[in-house]
């Protein structure tokens, strides 16, 4: 069974039409009165699935629908039509409590801007989802020791255990993103949803983060990454391209790249340019 399965996903937004505008105008009846509305079709029947252990890039120009798709994948929004199964749960008709459970337990979010709490340590930032962990029926709530051990294990998984007592201001951008990835991993989600995860990083740090994603994927983690950079999509195993709310291509990268190798080359070239030996 796929970990992610979308069938016929549509998302429409209805807005009041400006006076004199005829473009995309649709007449709707509301309470017996006619009202002119403009229907914006952000997604037009998207079919998409991802198996356990896939690393997928979602690409597309501005206005293609990739942000809308990301919001639906992350259970931050509901489709207007269609079905979305996540780890066997039909989400498209779920209520807010089920949505909160899914976001906490099934999805690990990684954001462009890290979203770390400035006055808490790396360890405490990673622990945070465990404080709000939604327990299933007959599931025992974790105590402070168990939460700490689990957060330490997640930091160790991203190679940052020795920095667990540091505050975000004491960490580089790449290290902050590693903390954010550890936070995404700590609840052992069904998949990681990364939104432009290297957008605030330089080339070297971006390659480090892509190398980490590739390593996590080799360990069996399912990752969906939204990006506008073809260079980053080349580090994934599959690239989906959206245009005008529809998937226009779904294929493997033409040249699969290894981030660790590219990082080594970048460091060598950077060392030569700076005159280091």
Q: 3-state class of 244 per DSSP?
A: coil
Q: What pLDDT score was predicted for residue 33?
A: 46
Which residues, 6+ apart, have CB-to-CB distance to 192 below 8 Å? Answer: 107, 108, 109, 110, 181, 184, 185, 213, 216, 221, 222, 223, 224
Region of 157 please: left (phi>0), alpha (psi -120 to 50) or beta: alpha
What predicted TM-score, i.e. pTM, was given to this entire model?
A: 0.89
Per-residue pLDDT at 35: 63
Nearest to 74 by CA among 235, 184, 232, 158: 184
Give 151-201 pLDDT, tens digit per residue. 999 999 999 999 999 999 999 999 999 999 999 999 999 999 999 999 999
pLDDT (tens digit per residue) in 215-230: 999 999 999 999 999 9
- Candidates 181, 138, 141; CA nearest to 159 is 181
pLDDT < 70 stretches in the chain: 18-35, 134-139, 272-277
Q: What sign for the dihedral angle of Cα 19, 78, 73, 127?
A: positive
Query: So what's the pLDDT on residue 231?
Result: 94
Position 43 scores a pLDDT of: 96
Please give the Cα distance from 65 to 244 (Å, whole number).
7
pLDDT number for residue 171: 96
Q: Which of 87, 75, 4, 102 is nearest to 46 (CA)?
A: 4
Contact between 126 and 182 under an 8 Å Cβ cutoff? The reply is yes
Q: What are phi and psi of 8, to 5 degrees?
A: 60, 40
Q: Are strands 107-110 and 89-90 parallel, antiparallel or unpaired?
A: unpaired
- What integer pLDDT is reported at residue 206 of this predicted model? 96
d(CA 60, CA 244): 9
């Amino acid at each position: 069974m796929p970990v992610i399965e979308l069938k016929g996903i549509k998302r429409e937004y209805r807005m009041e039409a400006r006076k004199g505008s005829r473009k995309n105008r649709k007449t709707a009846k509301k309470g017996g009165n006619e009202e002119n509305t403009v229907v914006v079709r952000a997604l037009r029947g998207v079919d998409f699935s991802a198996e356990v252990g896939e690393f997928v890039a979602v690409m597309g120009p501005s206005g293609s629908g990739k942000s809308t798709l990301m919001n639906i994948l992350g259970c931050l929004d509901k489709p207007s039509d269609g079905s979305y199964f996540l780890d066997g749960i039909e989400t498209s008709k779920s209520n807010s409590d089920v949505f909160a459970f899914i976001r906490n337990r099934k999805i690990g979010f990684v954001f462009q801007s890290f979203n770390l709490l400035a006055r808490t340590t790396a360890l405490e930032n990673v622990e945070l989802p465990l404080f709000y962990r939604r327990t299933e029926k007959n599931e025992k709530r974790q105590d402070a020791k168990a939460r700490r051990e689990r957060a330490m294990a997640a930091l160790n998984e991203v190679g940052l255990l020795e920095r667990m007592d540091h505050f975000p201001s004491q960490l580089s951008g790449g290290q902050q993103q590693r903390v954010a990835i550890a936070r995404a991993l700590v609840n052992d989600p069904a998949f990681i949803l990364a939104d432009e995860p290297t957008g605030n990083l330089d080339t070297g740090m971006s390659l480090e983060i892509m190398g980490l994603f590739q390593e996590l994927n080799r360990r069996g983690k399912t990752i969906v990454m939204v990006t506008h950079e073809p260079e980053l999509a080349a580090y994934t195993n599959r690239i989906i391209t959206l245009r005008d709310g529809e998937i226009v291509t779904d294929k493997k990268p033409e040249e699969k790249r290894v981030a660790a190798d590219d990082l080594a080359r970048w460091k060598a070239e950077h060392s030569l340019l700076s005159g280091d030996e």
